Structure 1
């Protein structure tokens, strides 16, 4: 428990006593492969810290194809911010790609802690800033980087996705077809042997 939660809630203004209170608001849960944490149309009432496994967010496009919008790996927060914080029905689904262990915190408990612990507010601002930066960078990469470079970046930054997620999910996340991703993987493998 301490490792995953400690990785997430790092901030100089959070004391050990603060962290003990924050950690105790979380409950450890296990989910099975393909199990949903959230379905489209539901309001997210909690968020999760991923201890192990792989979780994804996905939507259905206009042709009803599943498009993976995000992967969550170990020591990341599994969340759909718009649904949780605006209290609106989610357009995204959250689903376990593998068996997973998570630490769940209810929205009401989060709000109480946010009001009670000053350092928690600063941590939250920092986390949101990082998320905005990451999302902006991903949008830019989709426009400025080749599909091969996007895949290589994913391999480097989050190898557990490449190892554990089905090809179809990775391809939709990268904005390419399954066959294009298969070709890219073959080329990378061929070049690494040359």
Structure 2
């Protein structure tokens, strides 16, 4: 396992907290490398989420609405922490799926190992806090955007913040994520191109 990608990610995300190499190696040993092929699932509905670092690839999160239609709820590009927070921390079965849109390399750990790290490595505690804050902020911004931004504004923000989506995700997934139909997405894309 090439631990350097995970170690560099941790160091980058706790720049103001000193962390020694021994602690970094201890952290890396609590994670296992896992390779996913395109279309494989990292998490399925009904399973308990792990805590994952996406080192390479692109993931899509989705669930089903009451009519049985797939609804894309999130996309993850590489160098991100990925997990279903409610499932992971509360040990509840997930109501979402996390699917590989490309071949992916992830590093995974479980609740017990992560909890030990939080209690034994101060810098990792700060890292974990920062990751939770980042995900909460992203979730809050997405929720508000669905209320107070137009479809075109949400589309332009997606281009700005996660342009990889347009390389790896299907248009139906992007439309679903933006809360619009594919026809509306095509119109929004044409309008944005004209500007």
TM-score above 0.5, yes or no? yes
CA distance in 2, matches of 1:171, 1:15: 44
Q: Does 1:114 align with 2:118?
A: yes
1:89 aligned partner: 93
- The equivalent position to 1:142 in structure 2, one of 130, 146, 157, is 146
Q: Does 1:26 align with 2:28?
A: no
1:67-82 matches, within 5 Å, as: 67-82=71-86
Unaligned runs of 5+ in 2: none
Q: Which residue of 2 aligns with 1:3?
A: 5
2:42 to 37, 46, 69: 37
SS of match in other structure, 2:92:
coil
Task: Say if 1:4 and 1:49, in contact at 8 Å, map to a contact too.
Answer: yes
Normalised TM-score (structure 2): 0.90
Instruction: Tell me, yes or no, if the aligned pair for 1:57 and 1:69 is still in contact at 8 Å.
Output: yes
SS of residue matched to 1:124 = helix
1:176 correspondence with 2:177: no
**Kept in 1: contact 2:10–2:127 (CA 8 A):** no
The two structures, once aligned, show a CA RMSD in angstroms of 1.6
- Aligned residue-pair number: 190
Moved more, 168-177 or 102-111: 102-111
* C-alpha distance in 2 between matches for 1:138 and 1:99: 26
Query: Post-superposition, which runs of at least 4 consecutive aligned residues in structure 1 deviate over 6 A?
Result: none
Q: Give 1:57's aligned residue.
A: 61
Task: Tell me the alpha carbon deviations over residues 39-91 of structure 1, each in whole angstroms, 9 at most, x when there is no partner.
Answer: 111112x2211112111111100110000111111100111011011000111
Give the Cα–Cα distance (whole angstroms) in 2 for the partners of residues 122 and 29 of structure 1. Answer: 25
Q: Deviations over 1:77-132 (max 9, x none)?
A: 11101101100011111111121111122332212212211222222222212222
**Structure-2 separation of matches of 1:108 and 1:181:** 43
Give the distance between the partners of 1:5 and 1:176, measured in 2 at CA: 39
Partner of 2:165: 161
Give how far 1:4 is off.
Answer: 4.5
> Residues of 2 paired with 1:5 and 1:49: CA distance?
11
- The 2-side partners of 1:40 and 1:5 are apart by 30
Whether contact under 8 Å (1:34, 1:95) holds in the other structure is yes
